[in-house]
Amino acid sequence: MNKEFVLNGVNELEDYMIKTRRYLHQHPEVSSKEYETSAFLKREVRKFGLPVYDVENSTGFYAVLDTQRPGKTIGLRTDIDALPVTEKKVNLKGERTCLSHVEGVMHACGHDGHMAVVLASIQFLIKIKDQLNGKVVFIFEEGEEIGSGIHQMVAALKPLNMDAIYGTHLAAFMDTGTISIEEGPQMTGAIMVEFDLVGRGGHGSRPDLSINPVFAMANVLTGLASAWVNQIDVSKTVTLGLTQFQAGTAYNVFPDCAFVGGSLRYFDYDEGKKALEIFKNVTTKIAEAHLCKAVFRESTAIATIPVINDEALSKIARDGARELYGDKVIHGAPWYASESFSLYSKLCPTTFAFVGCKNEDVGSGADHHNEYFDIDEASLSYSLGSTLMFAINLLTKQD
């Protein structure tokens, strides 16, 4: 398909994407409670003339564009949830273009932009439907941030026998206009860890009559740090990200227990499993040495697998993006965050693109999940163009 035709179509949809992204940014909803977000998205999809299919026990849904001609069935996916973060009225430069209207909730990861891009892709692909073969499934996934909607979505999509699924993430660590679509591992798998060290409470004046879980927990944390240095394969990084430590309510009372929570991130599945075993073993034995008991909560388990891009699909996506944007397609590094997108690989080959949204001139570039996070809205066009080229290249060529 003519390059200029696609670029012109992207330009025509830019205002729609910006307007839609701003509306969604102003009306964010946290994971599993995206009721109004889902309703808005469904209204837009039906307005474009596509049927909507609900996903059982989920605010997520999907829509299908059927060309009525034989061909591949491909998916274009967006996440729809926001985060429980209180947004600053300014970004890294100054006042924001738009601000969340919901106290304590913001789109701090770019999902508002992702939704706007997929809605725009529907409009463009409907316009060229007669030039395509096969089907496009537009996937609107609930609760990516906590993994609450992915399993229901995968189950709902399984009967469609899909051939490929494509996803995009706006990336605050890349400059606006740059695009990275690499084969192999792109985002880590996540292991959630939550546990309590149970001791025995008592008066703060007599540590000998209590079992103090605070000292025990301090030794657990230093023991874990040493184990990570000495037992994790240096060529297979697993990060140790402990973010919560809660114990005690008064200066003169030993608590009964102390709590720690966090996550481990990994690219190699076997090393990730090994890391979880090390984590539990070190914690349990050090706790016992301090006469405490380690109690691991049910959530302590592998939550997601790594995002690993299919080699053939990544080449198709990269070549298509390069056709539009030339040397703006760069070789990027993997991202140590995790994504439920990884589980779509149970259905079919997948590929996941990073599109830069960092621009000092507009104040974007703060890290994801940060109260200063913002996107450069110019990045939406690059995301749309890359998405469209992937779909076009798969649906206009016959095997």
> What is d(CA 197, CA 260) in angstroms, rounded to the nearest whole number?
8
Instruction: Please work out, in degrees rounded to the nearest 5, the angle formed at the alpha carbon of residue 167 by the alpha carbons of 302 and 174.
Output: 95
Neighbours of 214 (CB within 10 A): 15
Pairing of strands 253-254, 179-180: unpaired
**Residue 28 · residue 94 · CB < 8 Å:** no
Residue 147 and residue 61: Cα distance in Å, rounded?
A: 15
Q: Is 203 annotated as a binding residue?
A: no
DSSP code at position 106: B
Give the phi and the psi of residue 350 in degrees, each rounded to 5.
-135, 160
Q: Is 25 annotated as a binding residue?
A: no
Q: Which residues of 65-78 are buried (b: 16+ CB within 10 A; e: fewer)?
A: bebeeebbbbbbbb
Q: Does residue 109 have a known ligand-binding role?
A: yes
Binding residues: 109, 111, 145, 169, 369
Binding residues for Mn(2+): 109, 111, 145, 169, 369
